Chain A
């Protein structure tokens, strides 16, 4: 066979870049396990949602233009986030509705952009992962992934392939955790209350780890669980699937100078 491997441009996402590089390395490991050749374009920063959702169309459009340029040429673009992938897939084309050439480029990028777990299962046909995880986990369905991209069964399918993992379903798993990007800061009091309710539901499952596919939601849930004094661990689903869940969880003390190695 001379077929070249599938090339993937990893859209790291700004939150993973800044807060939790481990998730990026976990995504790379999973993509490579699936047989992809992964590259990380240096010209990327963020998908532009902070501007887009604040009404700053001009900056959102300029950032979208940069992202479209940065990810030319890859077979696929994959992000460990339903929110950022949803932005590229659904909202970039809308940003360029009045610019036919850019709209075509945005549509083309949208067509090959995927959220990580959806990509692994739907495009690469992954049905199981090689790692295992010993523990009882619960799973929160992040809003954009769930409602914009239809991500629901895909992560559960891969988690089910880990023999020592038990999934305890979270009642209200489809209810927002209250993050909402800049909403979490601009309307902090309302956002915190929604997060507190989510934390309560999470604790009630009796799971020892909560997982989700979006770092924004994870930071929010981890922050609320920790403020409420709950001892649950919070991780991105990719960390568990990639077998990289041995380091400190989100919001845990760390002496780890080398994130994403373990």
Chain B
């Protein structure tokens, strides 16, 4: 996926003028957040489960090599193979060579953000393997030739009429010439068309929500059951997953599953929770003949032991973007890379570089809503600040901003000069604004006044008025344990 994060402002501007997007996002905002609130309120131990889920992942991240090797061993014991891939390119090439080993012409795909991260679809297509998305949202955006705009609802930016048009355009060749407008009819149509593709596919590729070290199982959760058909019917099942998806035991898995769906869609549990453990055994009724797990690092192991480690707890539930006022306003595409919303703003600079991604952690009011809903208690605002510090330090922050802060701070550190400057500035602004009470536009403040008025100041500073009315009264001298520090 082409990175457009450096154009965040232009992307946001475009998104803010898109009425279809506005309609779609309004729905998302209310649907997901209300459902989450209801689900959480109905589970008294939810907060304790969040603590437990966080602790499980912290434990894993403290001994990631151990758990990953144990996972590999268990997969091998069950006839599967784990492929270790340091880079997206290695992962793509591994998957392609696996596809070629069974002479695959088409492969079905379950939803996978890692497949997006490694840009798998265009690569397979270029090399003669046709990928077919089977998750309804992914299917829609594949038809529209767009990247996902949300990590669990890739097509949340589309309205129903847009989907109806898209299906009419692309399903004509299957004899579907009537424009369906009801959700059920649209789902039915997609299902009917996909059915044959499941049967024809040589390889099924899925992601994984979790990898269980104890059993060598990979887990996907879906609401459509498409993942099951994707992985059961073809000759080969390839799981593509990043290394931090590991959990120690099935018990741990079930703990985290209890917070996942509630945080994501507000369901108590997703409709399908599918565990895949190895290839088809002799006593199995069905299943793929071959089972491969492509494990991607892509810089994650470097995050261990750094300020970014906590991001590796993420279980990709989407709660942060569902509750984010910025995401509600601009949608996912404005972020300009694979992971949108708060988690993307914290994660993307690591993958695409801080220079390209610098807007993302800055384009946040630091309201903290994301952290308050994150089931894994990831301190997202803290990580935004980490990137802001780094950008400032490495002079990636634009010079006018750095200089502006520098000048302001110079005054802020000199209270008497600051008083003088603020007295003058506020006096002028106060006189100019008194009659109207506000400014409709103001030079140097257009970022503020383009979209709203700026209330005028009252005209005198508090400190001046206080000095006049009450005079100086110092702090009491007693009871200061740190007096020496400042003398």
**Chain A residues engaging chain B, CB cutoff 8 angstroms:** 7, 9, 12, 14, 16-22, 24-25, 39-46, 48, 50-57, 59, 62-63, 66, 68-69, 71-75, 101-102, 104-105, 108, 143-144, 147-148, 174-176, 178-181, 183-197, 219-220, 222-224, 226-227, 234, 248, 250-257, 259-260
Closest to B408 in A: A50
Q: Provide the B407-431 mask, 1 if CB < 8 A to any CB of A, else 0.
A: 0110111010010001001100000
> Given the interface contacts A54-B401, A101-B485, does A180 sit within 8 Å of B365 by beta carbon?
yes
Kindly provide the distance from the CB of A248 to the nearest chain B CB, expressed in whole angstroms.
7
Question: B412: which of A9, A48, A185 is its contact (CB, 8 Å)?
Answer: A48
In Å, the complex CA distance between A21 and B430 comes to 12
Instruction: Give the residues in chain A near B225, CB-CB below 8 Å.
Output: none
Interface centre among B365, B371, B449, B457 (most CB of A within 10 A): B365
Q: Do B452 and A104 touch (CB < 8 A)?
A: no
> Given the interface contacts A24-B462, A189-B451, does A59 sit within 8 Å of B405 by beta carbon?
yes
> Given the interface contacts A40-B466, A55-B385, A72-B480, does A63 sit within 8 Å of B409 by beta carbon?
yes
Is the interface on chain B under 10, 10 to 19, 20 to 34, or 35 or more residues?
35 or more
Closest 7 CB pairs of A and B: A192-B451, A180-B365, A55-B392, A188-B447, A55-B388, A251-B455, A176-B367
Q: Do B415 and A43 touch (CB < 8 A)?
A: yes
Question: A260: which of B362, B449, B465 is its contact (CB, 8 Å)?
Answer: B465
Question: B458: which of A12, A55, A179, A254 is its contact (CB, 8 Å)?
Answer: A254
Kindly provide the distance from the CB of B410 to the nearest chain A CB, expressed in whole angstroms.
8
Q: Do A185 and B445 touch (CB < 8 A)?
A: yes
Kindly provide the distance from the CB of B329 to the nearest chain A CB, expressed in whole angstroms.
5
Q: Do B392 and A223 touch (CB < 8 A)?
A: no
> Given the interface contacts A74-B475, A102-B485, A190-B16, does A224 sit within 8 Å of B389 by beta carbon?
no
Question: With an 8 A cutoff between CB atoms, is B173 at the interface?
Answer: no
Instruction: Give the residues in chain A near B450, CB-CB below 8 Å.
Output: 188-189, 192
Q: Do A73 and B325 touch (CB < 8 A)?
A: no
Kindly provide the distance from the CB of B438 to the nearest chain A CB, expressed in whole angstroms.
5
In Å, the complex CA distance between A24 and B390 comes to 36
In Å, the complex CA distance between A174 and B369 comes to 9
Question: With an 8 A cutoff between CB atoms, is B86 at the interface?
Answer: no
In Å, the complex CA distance between A41 and B448 comes to 31
Q: Do B415 and A44 touch (CB < 8 A)?
A: yes
Kindly provide the distance from the CB of A116 to the nearest chain B CB, expressed in whole angstroms.
14
Interface centre among B363, B422, B465, B483 (most CB of A within 10 A): B465
Kindly provide the distance from the CB of A134 to the nearest chain B CB, expressed in whole angstroms.
22
Interface centre among A25, A57, A187 (most CB of B within 10 A): A187
Q: Do B446 and A46 touch (CB < 8 A)?
A: no
Instruction: Give the residues in chain B near A185, CB-CB below 8 Å.
Output: 445, 447-448
Q: Do B452 and A42 touch (CB < 8 A)?
A: no
In Å, the complex CA distance between A72 and B476 comes to 9
Interface centre among A55, A195, A248, A257 (most CB of B within 10 A): A55
Kindly provide the distance from the CB of B335 to the nearest chain A CB, expressed in whole angstroms.
12
Closest to B397 in A: A55
In Å, the complex CA distance between A143 and B323 comes to 13
Q: Do A54 and B392 touch (CB < 8 A)?
A: yes
> Given the interface contacts A18-B461, A104-B482, A186-B447, does A52 sit within 8 Å of B385 by beta carbon?
yes
